Amino acid sequence: MRVLVTNDDGIHAEGIKALWRALESVAEVFVAAPDRERSAVGHGITVHRPLRVREMNFSGNRVRGWVVDGTPADCVKLCLEALIPAPPDLLISGINLGANLGTDVLYSGTVSAAIEGIINGVPSLAVSLAADNQAEPDFSCAAAFTRALLGLLRERRLPPGTLLNINVPPCPPRGVRVTRLGFRRYVNVIDRRTDPRGRVYFWMAGEPLDVDDGDPDTDVRAVADGYISVTPVHFDLTNHEMIAEFKTWPLQVGG
Mean pLDDT across 200-218:
80
The torsion angle over the Cα atoms of residues 148, 37, 220 and 130, rounded to 10 degrees, is 60
Quote the pLDDT of residue 213.
Answer: 65
13-27, 86-100, 101-115, 182-196, range with the lowest pLDDT:
182-196
Average pLDDT (157-175) is 96
3-state helix, strand, coil in the chain (%, to 5): 25, 30, 45
Q: Compute the average pLDDT of residues 165-177.
A: 96
The model's confidence at residue 214, banded by pLDDT at 50, 70 and 90, is: confident
First-residue to last-residue Cα distance in the chain:
58
Q: Which residue has the higher pLDDT, 119 or 255?
A: 119
Query: According to the 3-state scheme, what is the secondary structure of 81-95?
Result: HHHCCCCCCEEEEEE
> Considering the chain, what percentage of its residues have pLDDT values greater than 70?
98
pLDDT of residue 55: 95
Instruction: Quick: pLDDT tens for 174-207.
Output: 999 999 999 887 777 788 999 999 999 998 877 7
Confidence class for position 225, pLDDT limits 50, 70, 90:
very high
Is the pLDDT at 223 greater than 70? The verdict is: yes
pLDDT of residue 253: 87
Task: Tell me the per-residue pLDDT of 134-146, one tens digit each, with 9 for 90 and over.
Answer: 778 999 999 999 9
pLDDT class for 255, splitting at 50, 70, 90? low
pLDDT for the residue 186: 72
Residue-level pLDDT at 245: 94
Read off the pLDDT band of 126 (50, 70, 90). very high
> Among 236, 12, 234, which Cα is nearest to 124's?
234
The whole-number average pLDDT for the span 7-30 is 96
Q: In angstroms, rounded to a whole number, what is the distance separating the alpha carbons of residues 191 and 197?
A: 18
Rounded distance between C-alpha atoms, residue 122 and residue 100, angstroms: 21
Tens digits of residue pLDDT in 27-46: 999 999 999 999 989 999 99
Threshold 0.85, pTM exceeds: yes
- Mean pLDDT of the 68-76 span: 98
CA–CA dist 170, 19 (Å, integer) = 16
The verdict on whether omega for the bond into residue 172 sits within 30 degrees of 0, i.e. cis, is: yes
pLDDT at 254: 77
Q: How far apart are the C-alpha atoms of 89 and 158, rounded to whole Å?
A: 11
